Amino acid sequence: METTADYCIGIDLGGTSIKMGLFEISGKLLDKWNIDTNKAENGKNILSDIISSLNLQLCKLKIEPSKIKGIGIGIPGPVTGDGFVPVSVNLGWVNVPVKEQLKLLTDIPVKVGNDAKVAALGEMWQGSGKGYKNLVMITLGTGIGGGVIIDEKIVPGFYGAAGEIGHMPINQDELESCNCGKKGCLEQEASATGIVREAKKLLERATFKSLLDNEKNLTAYKVFEAAKAGDLLANQVIERAAKYLGIAMACITGVIDPDVFILGGGVSEAGQILLDQVKKYYKENVLFLSKETQIKLAALKNDAGIYGAARMVLE
Amino acid sequence: METTADYCIGIDLGGTSIKMGLFEISGKLLDKWNIDTNKAENGKNILSDIISSLNLQLCKLKIEPSKIKGIGIGIPGPVTGDGFVPVSVNLGWVNVPVKEQLKLLTDIPVKVGNDAKVAALGEMWQGSGKGYKNLVMITLGTGIGGGVIIDEKIVPGFYGAAGEIGHMPINQDELESCNCGKKGCLEQEASATGIVREAKKLLERATFKSLLDNEKNLTAYKVFEAAKAGDLLANQVIERAAKYLGIAMACITGVIDPDVFILGGGVSEAGQILLDQVKKYYKENVLFLSKETQIKLAALKNDAGIYGAARMVLE
C-alpha cells in the first residue's frame, strides 16, 4: 500500500560539522540537529554516520522512513551528474560515489549537489529568493562562491563550474595571482581575504589616520566595523570591493538577467553599508534595461544549505 | 478528427526582408522564401503580409494548415512573455501585441521570440550546437548580440535582457562611450564597429607601414583580409578584439559554464584567424576546470533565425 511522503531531509555536509534538517514538503523546518564530521581515514565513515544519525532521529520523532520523500545532501566540492564526488578537499574525499554508497545504506531516494549551488536553491525556496524562479546567489566569505538557479533548477555547468562567480576575470589591472593561478579574479578583489589585503595596502601608504592603524589582527569584520564608525580608509576599501562586485553582477546580468541577486556569506553580514555601494556600482555598469534588478541580502544564513538540500528532493 | 502535425514554420522578421521556412518536425528544411518588409505606416501591414505569403505558399505546396504544428517568429527587438513587442526600431513598431494580432489572422499556434535568442536556438537544433543542451551564441556584427540556451530553452531574462553580451562591462580603461551610454562594453571593443575604430586609431599613430594605409573606406572585413595577408597592424587589432571576447566568454563561463560557445555574425566570417585568438584568450582567463569548453563558428549563417523560430514551436 502506498503511503504519502510528507517530509524531506536536507543535509549540509561541512568540513567540521554536518547539519541536518527535517522539513515538511511545504518548506517548513520541523527539526534540525548537527553531528561532527569524522574526517579520519579520508572521511570513510561520514556517510554511515549520517544515516545512523538520521535513523535515530526519525525513530525519536516517531516518523516512518516511508514518510520521507527523499534526502538531499550538499557537498563541499564538485558533484557530477550521477551524485559522484571526484574530490572534496574539506572532507578528505577522492572519487566517492555518494549517491551509490547512500543507496546501500538507506531505501530513501537521495539527491546530491554542490553546497554553494544548493544554498542558492534554499534561498529560492524559503529565503530572500522566495517567489522568484531565476536567481544568482553570491556567497562572500574567505573566497567567493555562487549558485545559479534558472527556472527553479540549479544550473550545474558542463564542467560543474557554473556559479564560479569568484573566478570571473574582473580586474585586468591586478598584478597579484589568485589561488586559482589567474590574475584579476573577483575573489581577489571582493572576498574577505581581498578586503583585508586591500586594507593592509592602504594602511601602509595612507597619509591620514584610521581606526585600523596598529590593528594587529585585521579581519574583514573589523574593516566593516570601522567603516560603520565613519572611518575614511575602511570606507575606501569597501567601496572598492563593492565596485568590483557591481561590475561582476552587471556581467552576470548580461548573460542571464536574473530576477534577483542574493548576497550571502560572512562578508554580506556587513549589511546595508555593503548593499548600498554594490547597488550603486551595479546600476552604473549594467545595461539600462536591468537597472532595477532586485539585490537582497541572504535570509537563511547557515540554514540555506539544509533548506536547499531538502528542496532538491522536490525537483 | 485529429490530424498529425508534421511541419513547422520559422520566420525571421528583419528590417529589410522577411525570411520564411517550412520545416519537418525532425528539423529538415523543406522550403524557404523571402518577402520584403513593408515598413510604411509604422509597419502595420507586416503581420498580414506574412500570413498572406504563408497561406499562398502552403497552397502552392498543397499542404493543409492543419498539418502545421505552429509558426515561430523572431523579432528584432525585445519580446515580453506573452509575445508582446514594446518597441522595434527596425520595424517602426511601438507596443505591438504580435501573438494576439497573429491569432486574429491564423488558426495555427504562434510563438514569438527575440531574433538573437531565436538564432541561438536554431544553432542548437540544426547548427554547430547540435547535440548540446546548454549554449551561448555570440553574434558579432555592427553591434554584439547573443542568445543563451539552458536545458534546450531560451533564457529570456527578467527584463528580456539575457544574452546582452555586447553590453557586459569588460574594459574598465575605456574612455569613449558606447551607444548604450556606458563605457567599456564588449561591443565597443569587439564588434565590427569596434574593430574599425581600433584600426583607425592604430593607423593614426603607427610608425610602421600597413596594408590598410590610405584605405578610405575601412571595414572590419578589410581588416581581416589584411590580417590574413600577414599585416602586423591588422593582426594587432584582431588580437585586441579577441582578447576582450575571450575575457567576456570566461566571465560567461563563471556564470553558466556552457557546453559550447558559438560565434556568429559578419565578424565571425573571419573564421580561423579570429577563432584561434579567441580560444587563446579564453583559456588564459577562464577557471582551469573549463579550459576545454568547445568554441565553434556558427553553421547556419543567415538561416539560423528561421531554424530557431521553427524550433520554438516544438518546446
DSSP B295: E
More confidently predicted of B127 and B3:
B127
- β strands within chain A, DSSP E: 7-13, 17-24, 29-36, 68-75, 85-88, 93-96, 110-114, 135-140, 144-150, 153-154, 260-264, 294-297
Q: For the segment A68-120, what is each residue's pLDDT rounded down to a tens digit?
A: 999 999 999 889 878 999 889 889 999 999 999 999 999 999 999 999 999 99
Query: pLDDT digits over B152-193, tens only?
Result: 999 999 999 999 999 999 999 999 999 899 999 999 999 999
* Cα gap A44→A105, rounded to integer Å: 13
State the best of A185, A284, A285, A287 to mutate against chain B, taking most chain B CBs within 10 Å: A287
Q: What percent of chain A has pLDDT over 70?
A: 99
Give tens-digit pLDDT for A231-264: 999 999 999 999 999 999 999 999 999 999 999 9
Q: How far is B245 from chain A (nearest CA, A)?
A: 12
- For position A3, what pLDDT does the model report? 54
Give the model confidence (pLDDT) of B81-113 as tens digits. 789 998 898 899 999 999 999 999 999 999 999
The alpha carbon torsion through A170, A172, A176, A177 (nearest 10 deg) reads 60
Here the ipTM equals 0.93
B114-129: pLDDT as tens digits:
999 999 999 999 999 9
Q: Flag whether pLDDT at B130 surpasses 60.
A: yes
The answer to which of A157-161, A270-274, B143-147, B274-278 has the lowest mean pLDDT is A270-274
Q: Are strands A85-88 and A93-96 parallel, antiparallel or unpaired?
A: antiparallel
Would the CB atoms of A257 and B160 count as touching at under 8 Å?
A: yes
pTM to 2 decimal places: 0.93
Mutate which: B159, B255, B262, vs A, most A CBs within 10 A: B255
B161 contacts on A by Cβ (under 8 Å): 253-254, 257, 287, 289-290
pLDDT for res B182: 95
